[in-house]
Chains A and B, each alone.
Chain A
């Protein structure tokens, strides 16, 4: 109690840095471990004591997983190679993931933004309906996935990009509409009225007045939805067989193989899956809160 005010402030500051740094270590360690493992030669994957930073760092894992360099790996690893090779189609998976997430995210955000504009300016959906829309996201997809896969097989949509895109569209739409609306709500209505008084048509007003003002918000919405779609696992696993394998499903195949774990390869693939998301997430870090605040956070 005898501390002066500035002493107390210093103590608090030290306490804050201590706590934050402990959590920083907890957060950073798994990511560090993933990256570090991806550069380890196979004999260090399971070594005791564990190798934290390999002195024999190698690109072998990346080459085997992403570049299909098999001879190079065979001298080093022997029979593990056959496992890794029979499974590896990561570029196909990358293409699928990219196609599916970009197509479905584009559709969702386009549609969501138009809907959000309608809600924001003309109230075409009541607030009750807007909240009901959230049910699409909040009810766990597992409860409908079995009949959807049967219905998809009847429609010939199983194992197709279209099939997955339609479901991603439905399950990410609620977030897209809510997030886009939060940006559109911030555009002062007076600007549109002014444009209208000056004789601009509805379309021109939207195109030349509203859109430039919400552009960065819509980009943030796009990237936010992209994160959700890119990392989705359940639907991608159950509605695809061989043709449309996405990256998360591709990764889980390494785990499924019973011939022993291939940590280095898994890590090299994991880095490839995670890197785009981290880049995207850091770009929109200031807007992340909007994705799920549903108008509860005022600024």
Chain B
């Protein structure tokens, strides 16, 4: 079913009936969009502007003293121009936080994807027990992140079960510090995040594999291609949109990861787990430096907006080529 045929409601040169129809659609459109736009206008817009204001006028909660009314925020703030922006751009800790977040997100994305895709490849054809495995494999996604953080701590605790299992396997007493050592803390959080979100990649890849058309694979088989070549030269290219989707969404979500990092380690030990969200949080909520937090937020907002827009551009391109492919196929019953 092509979407385009009924979509174009604009050419109103036709009959009276068509014109009232176009009018009705326009009225419907604005009736639906108004509450949404109102929320954007009254909640997000002012916040965005306030953020801009405080990035040029230095203000921290302490400046307001006892009088914490909204107007006092403005009285207590003072014009500093671009000073804070300059500070932020030369802030080494901020730079490290960005690098840390990018590394964390990349590692998590790749980890989730490889495990999720491998499981999906093993599972997408029916076999005995498929349903049971599927149910278990989606469970981590349904476990609240903050719950995973604290349950993770119970398991990773020095006298906890993980060290016990490792001790039994290696026949020596293992007393690994998974959380409170600078070198490994972020990696540990990454593993928790991978555990949490592999189901996401798994589900998407399962759906993708199940939806692949059979004909190209059969054709390749008849032509004598082995499984390996069919995988790389037929399945993977057909799966490209789904793969991109799994990678992009996972990357963006792990850039924003907060509950586990904060809930377990609050940026520590040292600053080993100070990712971008944690660093912004520390500045705005622990040092109460609203203005510096605002500048950091703006910089991250621009960075993320650029990343998100290229991601969206990529996704749209894939969707278009997919639409083109499916629309060109003759429709059967």
Residues B297 and A297 in contact, CB atoms below 8 Å apart = no
Asked if residues B6 and A121 are in contact (CB atoms below 8 Å), the reply is yes
**Across-interface contacts of A199 in B (CB, < 8 A):** none
- Map CB proximity to A onto B4-15 as digits: 1 under 8 Å, 0 otherwise: 001111000000
Interchain CB contact under 8 A, B294 and A147: yes
The reply to whether B311 and A297 form a contact with Cβ atoms under 8 Å apart is no
Asked whether, in the complex, the Cβ of B122 is within 8 Å of the Cβ of A20, the reply is yes
Distance in Å: Cβ of A183 to nearest Cβ of chain B: 14
Of the listed stretches B86-94, B216-224, B279-287, chain A binds B279-287
A298 touches B322 (CB 8 A): yes
Knowing A50-B161, A230-B144, the reply to whether A139 touches B305 (Cβ < 8 A) is: yes
Identify which of B35, B54, B245, B301 contacts A296 (C-beta below 8 A): B245
Asked if A189 is an interface residue, CB under 8 A from chain B, the answer is yes
Which of A61-69, A213-221, A272-280 sits within the interface?
Answer: A272-280
Q: Is A243 an interface residue (CB 8 A)?
A: no
A3 → B minimal CB distance (Å): 14
Q: Across the interface, do B155 and A33 meet the contact criterion of CB distance under 8 Å? A: yes
Are A33 and B154 closer than 8 Å at their CB atoms?
A: yes
Within 8 A of A (CB), among B18-34: 25, 28-29, 32-33
Residues of B within 8 A of A151 (CB): 43, 46-47, 50
Q: Measured between alpha carbons, how far is A134 from B304 in the docked complex, in Å?
A: 13
Q: Which residue of A lies closest to B8 (CB)?
A: A123
User: Measured between alpha carbons, how far is A288 from B277 in the docked complex, in Å?
Assistant: 27
Q: A134-B312, A274-B144 are in contact. Are A27 and B136 (CB under 8 A)?
A: yes
The answer on a CB contact under 8 Å between B144 and A231 is yes
B180 at the interface (CB under 8 A from A): no
Tell whether, in the assembled complex, residue A124 and residue B25 are in contact, meaning their CB atoms are under 8 Å apart.
yes
B119, CB-defined interface residue at 8 Å: yes
B102 CB–A CB distance under 8 Å: no
Tell me whether B259 and A248 are in contact (CB under 8 A). Answer: yes
Whether A142 and B32, one on each chain, are in contact in the complex, defined by CB atoms closer than 8 angstroms, is: no
Bits for A259-299, please: 1 = Cβ < 8 Å to B, else 0.
Answer: 00101001100100110011011100100110011111111
Tell whether B133 is near chain A: CB-to-CB under 8 Å: yes
Identify A289's interface contact among B28, B203, B277, B298, CB under 8 A. B203
Please tell me if B3 contacts chain A, counting CB pairs below 8 Å.
Answer: yes
Q: What range describes how many residues of B lie at the interface? A: 35 or more
- Known contacts A142-B281, A143-B297, A285-B138: does B133 contact A20 (CB below 8 Å)? yes
Q: How far is the CA of A169 from the CA of B35 in the complex (A)?
A: 11
Chain B residue with Cβ nearest A170:
B39
- Shortest B103–chain A CB gap in Å is 16
- The chain B residue with its CB closest to the CB of A154 is B70
Which chain B residues border A131 with CB–CB below 8 Å? 312, 315-316
Q: Decide: A150 near B290, CB < 8 A? Known: A231-B145, A285-B138.
A: yes
> From residue A126, how far is it (CB to closest CB) to chain B in Å?
9
Q: Is A13 an interface residue (CB 8 A)?
A: yes
In contact, A20 and B123 (Cβ under 8 angstroms): yes
B150, A148: Cβ atoms closer than 8 Å: no
B312 touches A135 (CB 8 A): yes
B200 proximal to A (CB < 8 A): yes
Interface check B96, CB cutoff 8 A: no
- B142 touches which of A24, A29, A166, A278 (Cβ 8 Å): A278
Residues on A with beta carbons closer than 8 Å to the beta carbon of B122: 16, 19-20
A297 contacts B208, C-beta separation under 8 Å = yes
A-contact 0/1 string along B292-329, CB 8 Å cutoff: 01100110110011001101100110110010001000
Which stretch of A70-78, A80-88, A111-119 is in the interface? A111-119
Residues on B with beta carbons closer than 8 Å to the beta carbon of A27: 136-137, 139-140, 195
Q: Which of B33, B154, B195, B259 has the most CB of A within 10 A?
A: B154
A58 on interface, CB distance cutoff 8 Å: no
The answer to whether A292 and B249 touch across the interface, beta carbons within 8 angstroms, is: yes
B47 touches A234 (CB 8 A): no
A147 touching B47, Cβ below 8 Å? yes
Q: Which of A137-185 contact B (CB under 8 A)?
A: 138-148, 150-151, 153-154, 166-167, 169-170, 173
Cα–Cα, bound, A270→B137 (Å): 19
- B51 CB within 8 Å of chain A: yes
Q: Which 6 A-B pairs have the closest CB atoms?
A: A140-B256, A123-B7, A289-B207, A154-B70, A281-B142, A124-B29
Q: Measuring CB to CB, which residues of chain B are less than 8 angstroms from any residue of chain A?
A: 1, 3, 6-9, 25, 28-29, 32-33, 35-36, 39-40, 43-44, 46-48, 50-51, 54, 68, 70, 73, 115, 118-119, 122-123, 127, 129, 133-148, 150-155, 157, 159-161, 164, 195, 200, 203-204, 206-208, 210-211, 241-242, 245, 249, 252, 255-256, 258-259, 263, 276-277, 280-281, 284-285, 290, 293-294, 297-298, 300-301, 304-305, 308-309, 311-312, 315-316, 318-319, 322, 326
A-B contact list, 20 entries, CB within 8 Å: A19-B122, A20-B119, A23-B115, A27-B136, A30-B140, A31-B151, A33-B155, A34-B154, A114-B32, A138-B249, A146-B280, A147-B47, A147-B51, A147-B297, A151-B47, A231-B145, A266-B154, A267-B154, A270-B150, A270-B151
